[in-house]
A and B are shown apart, each in its own frame.
Chain A
């Protein structure tokens, strides 16, 4: 099959089902072949760089001194501490997920109700912390929340407290830090569904006598369910494997499973034990998946939503159940809600905005600490800086190690992001628009790199690459970044495709557009923002990675976070703040550029209209 033919098949696969259906009549076998073809690139990538190395690692957990043995598992079975650590990890992940949801929902809702330009600006603010290193954000919290930090100083001056509050190096610190790190993961999917939600539906509900609170429960909330599930899944899963934030912000008791595994790999070198613990963690995650399989299935369901015109009979998914649940729940509450609504009407909007404002503040607060730190004149990190200078900027630009690391990270995380999108987008199309057996297992496989602690994947890759020239080469980074980035592109694209109004595609094809034209002129342009956020997520995941660097870096391949990690671990200085500030500057420039381009296009459009 030639390249062109292949491309045509891909186009058919991605195009509206009506078209696919007509082709399908010609050959059922071909339609069955399509999801396989769409999934082939990502599955190949995962097989080589992920499944194979991890299987080797699992096999390793079943060995001891060269022969088959369950020694590692027997040891775990006898270890009470392991189960306590697992329990602690699960509790933390669940709590962080709930807090994130409570904070992110009003924020996403508020943003979705803003004008597109304001919304894109606010989304940029949400993205902002996500685009800077997790290391500096985490360290900034230490500075901000510390006993002599600005927050405690302010409270002391206001007379609210007489003793500094302990807000860092305990559970509070971990929660604040984790929520700040994970919040964007919750906001984006929620915003994605809420922005697509047709406001006229709520208005219709209200005009029919439903109080806004009720309309929210009956229309907005159910319709935002895919985003909500998507966000919760992302946050919960990535919390399970979290290492850096609890490590840096936690107190003497905060010891989680990822730390236990990292300890075994990085310090002790007990690889069999680490492999056994990771295998068990994986098993636990699979069990959680099975418990929530209806929700996961719903996540994959692309049947028409409330804002699409569809006979209710087609809504055979879990969504109907949830709607009935909502109805059941809201009916007896109707009167109460009406009163509550009346009481809340004057404060509802300001309250919502205040809440959203606080959430945004939480996201950008660390920058308040980071910016002045970058201009510090002090030779070590101290807040507030005693005096200001550009010495840390000068030092950065005169240090080729930092510059090399920066260009390495930009280059290879960028390339990997493109690769992630290239394999992730067809996979999302296959998962959303096609029904085939093994859909759920494939989906679980594709998002699993978000759960498996990176330290495990990294060490498995290390063994897989051992003895080849791939160790310490950029290729190793490109591969691992693509694998950890791809799940994000898949999840983001699925959310985007599900909220995609396919009547537009049908309209295009009914007007005679070929599948290729429909894809080029309708589907892709409409999905462009989703594609962009998919690429951004994939880029960040790679760019921010520390753990793969620990195992895969070599003389000609040292990514930026490795330099930063070393800097934090060996000589804490304001150097990292400088990098954060430079990022901030780049982002502001990009943001302004985007606004400018948007304005130009808008201007052109309005002129065209005249």
Chain B
């Protein structure tokens, strides 16, 4: 699945944003009502503006329609989720995994196959370019890009590439990147290679040595490695750094609240997250109902109104105002400046039978401890 997705994204197949123009051609189809239910469903809420968007667009309307109570759970880490499934007591029924990490969960037999019975055919077919999988329903498409302090750099003279971010002479100030312990999530290794002059099309397989050499050049100017989405914009707001990698939704959420953070789509890295149902979940049936509900174009469009993460259901763009769609990382203008992260590479087994995701962490630890 990942392979197809990547190829399609790389080929630039008509991307989601393009559908906005075709809105009038598709009258809203009659939506099959999800049967009423009882009990509850425990869903990962993601917190902050992201959790808020989910609550408004998905949780509350779902409760009203089905009578099933949504219990939103605060974030936890993938390892803890893994432990909970292994222990036979999954902490969520439904959770979200980064696209780079989901295949490992699939491989390790931690997910429940999704029953698409409650989904509308029209919604299922409209998932594009990332299709639904046996265990995964795409949740959001987003970008890891370069963000900077716009009070320091004017738009005309701001960092516009990873090489610029590395150039502390031209763009004075200190920097941050996501900690390499997050491997594929943070895009730090890709950024290092791009900064060193590697072409986006020739990035994979990643050259670890070259990436660490490049990172070593920037390290003296790194204030700290960020670990959470909120941290990168916060470091800029606090004037601790002048530029960093960051996720687009967090940056625009901060800007909508009055922060002044500039960004560029250029050399941005497209990523996506998936909904999954954990193996052994107590409320599987409710979980499938919830996923069917969140897959509806209208609901995804509502979600976009609250946070700038792109909907994987391309039909959602029929309900998103064009001026809002323009701001999404999947808009044609933004899309052509970015590249798609290769999840396939990150999940391939490298030396010692471990996935590249794990190798990256081991190498990162060695590098930080000075042993590399």
Residues of A participating in the B interface, judged by any CB pair closer than 8 Å: 79-82, 84-85, 88, 142-143, 146-148, 168-169, 247, 250-253, 255, 260, 263-271, 378-383, 459, 462-463, 465-468, 471-472, 550-551, 553-555, 558, 562-563, 566-572
Separation in Å of the A42 CB from the closest CB of chain B?
Answer: 27
Bound Cα distance A568, B87 (Å): 28
Mask of B213-238 contacts with A, CB within 8 angstroms, 1/0:
00000010011110111110010011
| B47 and A566 within 8 A (CB) | yes
Nearest residue (CB) in B for A148 is B239
| B74 and A268 within 8 A (CB) | no
Separation in Å of the A565 CB from the closest CB of chain B?
Answer: 8
Bound Cα distance A85, B369 (Å): 6
Nearest residue (CB) in A for B69 is A555
Report B102-148 residues with CB < 8 Å from chain A CB: none
| A84 and B369 within 8 A (CB) | yes
Separation in Å of the B44 CB from the closest CB of chain A?
Answer: 11
Chain B, interface SS category = mixed
B61 interfacial contact with A, CB 8 Å: no
The 6 closest A-B pairs by CB, nearest first: A466-B87, A571-B48, A570-B47, A269-B82, A80-B371, A81-B369
Besides A252-B368, A466-B89, A569-B228, 19 other A-B contacts (C-beta < 8 A):
A84-B370, A84-B371, A143-B238, A146-B240, A148-B238, A252-B225, A255-B365, A267-B77, A267-B78, A267-B182, A268-B361, A380-B237, A380-B259, A381-B234, A381-B238, A462-B87, A466-B87, A555-B40, A572-B231
**B interface, size bucket:** 35 or more
Bound Cα distance A179, B60 (Å): 46
Separation in Å of the B356 CB from the closest CB of chain A?
Answer: 13
Interface centre among A85, A465, A467, A551, by most B CB within 10 Å? A551
| A466 and B88 within 8 A (CB) | yes
Q: A381-B237, A463-B87 are in contact. Are A569 and B47 (CB under 8 A)?
A: yes
Nearest residue (CB) in A for B363 is A81
- The residues of A that contact B49 with a CB separation of less than 8 Å are 571
B337 interfacial contact with A, CB 8 Å: no
Separation in Å of the B103 CB from the closest CB of chain A?
Answer: 14
B63 interfacial contact with A, CB 8 Å: no
| A380 and B257 within 8 A (CB) | yes
Bound Cα distance A382, B238 (Å): 6
15 chain-A/chain-B pairs, Cβ below 8 angstroms: A80-B366, A80-B369, A81-B365, A81-B370, A85-B365, A265-B83, A379-B257, A466-B87, A467-B89, A550-B77, A554-B91, A567-B48, A569-B228, A570-B75, A570-B228
Separation in Å of the A262 CB from the closest CB of chain B?
Answer: 9
- The residues of B that contact A463 with a CB separation of less than 8 Å are 83, 87
| A252 and B222 within 8 A (CB) | yes
B50 interfacial contact with A, CB 8 Å: yes
| B223 and A459 within 8 A (CB) | no
- The residues of A that contact B240 with a CB separation of less than 8 Å are 142, 146-147, 168-169
| A555 and B74 within 8 A (CB) | no
Bound Cα distance A383, B79 (Å): 35
Q: A251-B224, A252-B224, A466-B89 are in contact. Are A551 and B80 (CB under 8 A)?
A: yes
| B48 and A570 within 8 A (CB) | yes
Q: A81-B366, A269-B83 are in contact. Are A142 and B230 (CB under 8 A)?
A: no
Separation in Å of the A474 CB from the closest CB of chain B?
Answer: 16
B258 interfacial contact with A, CB 8 Å: yes
Bound Cα distance A463, B79 (Å): 13
Bound Cα distance A265, B267 (Å): 33
Nearest residue (CB) in B for A142 is B238
| B181 and A555 within 8 A (CB) | no
Nearest residue (CB) in A for B84 is A462
- The residues of B that contact A143 with a CB separation of less than 8 Å are 238
Nearest residue (CB) in B for A569 is B228
Separation in Å of the B78 CB from the closest CB of chain A?
Answer: 6
| B239 and A567 within 8 A (CB) | no
Nearest residue (CB) in A for B215 is A252
Bound Cα distance A253, B216 (Å): 12
> Which of A253, A378, A554 is in CB contact (< 8 Å) with B368?
A253
- The residues of B that contact A169 with a CB separation of less than 8 Å are 223-224, 240
